[in-house]
Structure 1
Amino acid sequence: MSIKKRLILSNIGMIVIPIVSLLILEVVAGYLFFYVLNRKPEGEDLQFFLTLRFGAIVMILVITNGLLTYYISRSIIEPINRLSLAAKKISEGDLDYSCATDLRDELGRLSNTFEEMRLKLKEADAIQEQYYLNRQELIASISHDLKTPLTSIKGYVSGIQDGVACTPEKLNRYMSKIEKNANDMDGLIDELFLYSKLDLEQLPFTFEKVKLNDYFEDYIEELSIKLEKEHGIAVLYHDRHGSYIVEADREKLNRVVMNITQNSLKYMDKTYKEIQVILSEDQYEAQVEIKDNGSGIAKNDLPYIFDSFYRTDTSRNSATGGTGLGLSIAKKIIEKHKGKIWADSEPGVGTSIYFTLKKVK
């Protein structure tokens, strides 16, 4: 019951209860006084009866008002005290103190709203703590990934300075290694810069209408020539002849497809290597599936592959290449397009990475 209704009923009770009680008292007391005790309704007996009746009226009013006031104030003050205590606990940093209640009145709703706020603060605190841990991990990952090629470069430079590269062939090999490691560092810095700009929402997006089937026909033609020549990988394109007009940033979309295909390249372990790009749609979205026949991803790794700096090779072996940011960048770009990205994989068979883009009517 709401506080307003309780106050109205309390005020009514303060009027009705004394009146009813007085009527009952009048009948019962009059019967006992005049008929049972055989007193006369006149003179001193009547005056004594009226005095008793007045005292009873005062007593009834005091008891009625006192009980109703106590009940109403208790039903209001107790929830306020609990809420005040909860506010104090939360202000002191105790986010585990619950103020949830089953009350259905205004104070009950206020307490439950306060409880929702407490839970959101607790969630935000957990996110902040996780963010701090992620930042520490990010710093450690950046340090590791920058230090590895830098150490290698220093080693080759020292070799050249010490005269180890004493032949033109050795010198060319050392210089090639230095160039490769420098390019790796440059790529890592570029990806870190892109990731940070996406994270800080400082990267501008230029959206336009893009017909995905035409886009992928051109992109796949160029990609297939490159992958087949450099890696011996066949690229197949499947178009289910739908209406694939979406709103997208072409440059950022290129980055998404490039990052996904590069991730697939790292885990190609079969004689016949293949990447498939499959377009499908529903009423509101176009879906892109990029499927490979590589080594696949273990189930316990699958939920984390879009996290920054996550690698399925926990040793962070550079043999597979990459920075651990590629799929994370792809996820951020797709989310900026108001789409979704996810993966499905079967170890030993291959991996499919899906993403969706909103269709333009």
Structure 2
Amino acid sequence: MDSIAYTAPDGSAGTLIIASDMEPVARFFRKFVPAVLLALLGALTLTNGVLTYLVSRSIVKPLYALKAAAGQIRVGELDRPVRLRRQDEIGQLGSAFEEMRVRLKDSIDAGLQLERNRKEMLASISHDLKTPITAIQGCAECLRDGIADTEEQRQKYVTMILGKTAGMNRMIEDLLLYSTLDIGRLPFRFERLDIAAYMREAVEELRLDPRMNGVRLDYDNAAARPLYVQADREKLHRAVLNVVDNSLKHMEREPRMLRFELLAPDTGSTGSIALRITDNGSGIPEDALPHVFDRFFRAEPARRSDDGSSGLGLAIVKQIVEEHGGTVQALRAPVQGTSIVIRLPAGDEEAANEQRGGRS
């Protein structure tokens, strides 16, 4: 109830009393305030639930995925990729985690492959050494038991023993060289080399080799000019000899021929000098060509260590050529036989001119 001072028209003073009933207002508040509070509480609950779901989906769930991936890696399971498909910080974390998984898997696979290679190498060495050792043992027993009762027979057995031991020595040398190259501990002494003159001298040296009796040797420098590469003289010579040795093993028909060709890089080419060594031997089957540079690979399964081969000759060639920054490839010759093509990076012309000036 409110009172207001009031002056009547006739000038008399009075008081105006206003009385109001607040019960409807009170009823309104008693009815609607709880509903409003419940609505606000429901909205807060819904908002909290939605936010919790979104946070769980965007943060907690990816973290659980990373946790599960870490658990798989811990037990050695590395085949399941981690793909979060996000561009934010968590996505970057997932990408780093996936890169770590891939590198770890590659490292473990490389270790397992190395262990398999070692086991295969030991098995191959054991097999290849067994035949000459058995032959040496048989010859020694014959000499001990007096079966070789003449000087001629004794010399025959001694010669056989010497031949087998020489073959075993070559096999062991090849194995040591291959292992040293494989672990990268063989030093290379590179120099700028005129490979045209180098190969001309190498072919002339081969003409004096007794193993080349009856073999026609041809040399052709298609460029008819000096060709320069960065090479280690000794290692490159070993690679060429290994290719020659491999060709000699397969040249069983007359006339025997071995051709050396140097091909200079053409204008606009990749800048490599190709050395092609071609024989007219029995050739290599088409399906075996990609594998001839694998260690212990033999195109003919029947050809074992009794031919003096370690099975590492062409594998050593590949390692030496790759250390020079080049490539090597086996191809079937156009008519008959096999071509081994060694490609080496060509030296720059300016440095070649400097070397020619220094020698003049």
Q: If the TM-score is normalised by the length of the shorter chain, which range does it land in?
A: 0.7 to 0.9
RMSD: 2.7
Cα drift, residue 319 of structure 1: 5.1
Q: Secondary structure at the match of 2:286?
A: coil
> 1:103 maps to what in 2?
86
After superposing on structure 2, the runs of 4+ consecutive aligned residues of structure 1 that deviate more than 6 Å are: 48-51
Question: Is 1:93 matched with 2:87?
Answer: no
Q: Secondary structure at the match of 1:99?
A: coil
| Bigger mean CA offset, 116-125 vs 164-173 | 116-125
| Bigger mean CA offset, 344-353 vs 78-87 | 344-353
Contact 2:193 2:230 in 1 (8 A): yes
Which whole-Å CA distance do the structure 2 matches of 1:77 and 1:243 have between them? 69
Which whole-Å CA distance do the structure 1 matches of 2:333 and 2:342 have between them? 18
Cα drift, residue 158 of structure 1: 1.8
Which whole-Å CA distance do the structure 2 matches of 1:243 and 1:43 have between them? 112
Q: Structure 2 vs 1, CA of residues 139 and 316 (structure 1 numbering), >3 Å: closer, same or farther?
A: farther
> 2:65 maps to what in 1?
82
Cα drift, residue 217 of structure 1: 0.9
Which whole-Å CA distance do the structure 2 matches of 1:173 and 1:185 have between them? 18
1:46-77 per-position Cα deviation (integer Å, ceiling 9, x unaligned): 75667765664554454335413431332111
Q: Which amino acid aligns with 1:252?
A: K
State the identity as a percent.
39
> 2:163 maps to what in 1?
180
Question: Is 1:333 matched with 2:320?
Answer: yes
Question: Is 1:246 matched with 2:229?
Answer: yes
Which whole-Å CA distance do the structure 2 matches of 1:347 and 1:320 have between them? 27
Q: Which amino acid aligns with 1:357?
A: L
Report matched runs for 1:261-272 at 5 Å.
261-272=244-255
1:142-188 per-position Cα deviation (integer Å, ceiling 9, x unaligned): 12222222221221122222222222222222221111111111111
Q: Structure 2 vs 1, CA of residues 270 and 316 (structure 1 numbering), >3 Å: closer, same or farther?
A: closer
| Bigger mean CA offset, 246-255 vs 333-342 | 333-342
Contact 1:298 1:347 in 2 (8 A): no
Cα drift, residue 316 of structure 1: 4.2
Q: Structure 2 vs 1, CA of residues 283 and 305 (structure 1 numbering), >3 Å: closer, same or farther?
A: closer
Which whole-Å CA distance do the structure 2 matches of 1:214 and 1:320 have between them? 33
Contact 1:275 1:290 in 2 (8 A): yes
Q: Which amino acid aligns with 1:344?
A: L
Q: Which amino acid aligns with 1:273?
A: R
> 2:293 maps to what in 1?
306
| Bigger mean CA offset, 192-201 vs 77-86 | 192-201
1:221-247 per-position Cα deviation (integer Å, ceiling 9, x unaligned): 1113426x6441112112121662111
Which whole-Å CA distance do the structure 2 matches of 1:102 and 1:94 have between them? 21
> 1:258 maps to what in 2?
241
Which whole-Å CA distance do the structure 2 matches of 1:243 and 1:66 have between them? 81
Match of 2:218 among 236, 252, 268: 236
TM-score (norm 2): 0.79
> 1:323 maps to what in 2?
310
More helix by share: 1
Q: Secondary structure at the match of 2:259?
A: strand
> 1:6 maps to what in 2?
none
Q: Structure 2 vs 1, CA of residues 114 and 346 (structure 1 numbering), >3 Å: closer, same or farther?
A: farther
Aligned pairs, number: 320
Cα drift, residue 191 of structure 1: 1.3
> 1:132 maps to what in 2?
115
Q: Secondary structure at the match of 2:83?
A: coil
Q: Which amino acid aligns with 1:74?
A: R
Q: Rg bigger for which structure? A: 2
Contact 1:298 1:346 in 2 (8 A): no
Match of 2:279 among 284, 292, 304: 292
Contact 1:79 1:107 in 2 (8 A): yes
